[in-house]
Amino acid sequence: MPIQNIFDQKIDVTKLDRSKLKSQKPCVLWFTGLSGAGKSTIANALEKKLHEMGRHTYLLDGDNFRHGLSKDLGFTDEDRVENLRRVAEVSKLMVDAGLIVISAFISPFRSDRQMARELFTEGEFVEIFIDTPIEIAEQRDTKGLYKKARLGKLKNFTGVDSVYERPKEPNLVLKGYDVKIELTINSIIGYLKKNATLY
């Protein structure tokens, strides 16, 4: 049903104005990968590095997001779709504020990631696939989630009884294992500089 009686409100201060004030090009760095792939660890280290470089950032993390805006959602396919819709809309608002947004979410479905990408202008959405095999992610299992899922105590767990759809054309593919995190961060920084996000 179309929304009625709601109109776009003109705002004089634009995304470009906010970006110029921060001397940076806003974007969203969308980390995707299995639970335990290393998304949160890499995202946190990246934000620290960008902060040291004087960049204005905000990190949206999957677990933290579900403590607040998505605390009413479970982990059915429908709830996952809604969770990612909220994440994408919040990311869009933060990009509009001129920030470099780091979103670290499993985001298992290609259609959801494409939906998110389409909210942004060309070059603003950077999909980063943390390519960690499930065997390695499961060996880590720092939160004990894979074990619970294998025992049937945790339903709809990505990689066990819920699908993860690997990105077909991500902007970056990075290993979340057997590599020093500094090298991973440098790869991301290098990509951003090459594509004029950092200058």
| pLDDT tens digits along 12-46 | 899 999 999 998 999 999 999 999 999 999 999 99
Q: Which two tokens stand for residue 35?
A: 């639970």
The pLDDT of residue 44: 96
Residue 1 pLDDT exceeds 60: no
All domains in the chain, ordered by first residue: 25-194 (3.40.50.300)
- Tell me what the pLDDT averaged over the chain comes to: 92
Q: Which residues are catalytic?
A: 107
Q: Which residue type, as a one-letter code, is found at position 174?
A: L
Q: Which two tokens stand for residue 157?
A: 């767990």
Q: Which two tokens stand for residue 65?
A: 């997001």
List C-alpha distances in Å: 117 to 52, 71, 85, 127, 186: 28, 24, 11, 8, 24
Tell me which DSSP letter residue 7 carries: -
Q: What is the pTM of this model?
A: 0.92
When pLDDT is cut at 50, 70 and 90, the band that residue 124 belongs to is very high
| pLDDT tens digits along 46-88 | 999 999 999 999 999 988 999 999 999 998 889 999 999 999 9
The pLDDT of residue 2: 59
- What percentage of the chain has pLDDT greater than the value 70? 97
| pLDDT tens digits along 90-110 | 999 999 999 999 999 999 999
Nearest in space to 158 (alpha carbons), one of 171, 149, 169, 167: 149
